[in-house]
Amino acid sequence: MNTEKTSKNAAYTGLFAAVAASSCCIPPVIALIAGVGGGASALSWMEPLRPYLIGLAVLAIGYAWYSYLRTKKVDDCCEVDAKPKWYQTKGFLIGITLFAAVSISFPYYAHIFYPNTTNKEVVVVSEANVETLNFDIEGMTCNGCAAHVENEVNKLSGIISVTASYDNENATVTFDKSKTTEEDIVKAINGTGYKVINKVKDGQ
């Protein structure tokens, strides 16, 4: 296999690995944009592979740059005038590198795609109807997943506040029992593609 083809394959491998490294976090945002909920966690099984995929992306793109710079040095010495193919250009490699960086860092800014609900106003008729529950959730793999859960639960009537945590694998929901039920909340969370595995009242 010649150097040009190897360099191109390395660049594409790096790009694929970079996208795959965040594939566990991309579906929730796509689900939000598309207006659907189910299946958001379909690729959550790839999350443990993220460090290895990032390493592969860095090595592959690094090799592509090494091949480009080595070939350019040889061409400069020999004064080759042939126009390089598009995948041999510096612009192509810069584009691949930037796209890979954006893909790898996606889990850290995925939450910006979700609407801000911190200023949500809910009229509570009776404090006796207010209840707080903690839901243990299976399948969340990043802060984007947690934001997805918060977004879906907040669509329910009577939700006063909801805070989901990827680190703690749970969501704390305060709601008006006269307007929504535990079952409605569980259904909303499960509808995202993640799964409620336990629920307890706050303070228990």
Confidence grade of residue 182 (pLDDT, cut at 50, 70, 90): very high
Residue 171, Cβ density class (10 Å: 0-12 exposed, 13-18 middle, ≥19 buried): buried
DSSP for 106-174, written as a single string: HHHHGGGGSPP-TT-----S-GGGEEEEEEEEE---SHHHHHHHHHHHTTSTTEEEEEEETTTTEEEEE
Can you tell me the mean pLDDT for 47-61? 88
Confidence of residue 1 (pLDDT cuts 50, 70, 90): very low
CA distance 31 to 113: 11
Strand order across the 159-165 sheet: 159-165, 170-176, 130-138, 195-201
Determine if the pTM surpasses 0.75.
no
The helix or strand, by DSSP H or E, that contains position 201, with its residue range, turns out to be strand 195-201
Choice between 186 and 125, residue whose per-residue pLDDT is larger:
186
Supply the DSSP string of 24-39, one letter for each residue.
TTHHHHHHHHHT--TT
User: Are 17 and 61 within 8 A, CB to CB?
Assistant: no
pLDDT tens figures, 108-147: 887 787 776 655 666 666 788 899 999 999 988 888 888 8
**11-41 per-position pLDDT tens digit:** 888 888 888 888 777 776 776 666 655 556 6
In CATH, the architecture of 114-201 is 2-Layer Sandwich (3.30)
Distances (CA, A) of 6 to 1, 55, 60, 136: 7, 18, 10, 47
Average pLDDT, integer, range 86-109: 85
Q: For residue range 56-92, what is the model confidence (pLDDT) as tens digits?
A: 999 999 988 888 888 766 555 555 555 666 666 788 8
CA atoms of 48 and 46, how far apart (whole Å): 6
| Residues ≥6 apart with Cβ < 8 Å to 127 | none
Domain ranges of the chain: 3-112, 114-201
Residue type, 130: V
Residue among 131, 144, 117 nearest 175 (CA): 131
- Residue 203, pLDDT above cutoff 80: no
> Between 203 and 144, where is the model more confident?
144
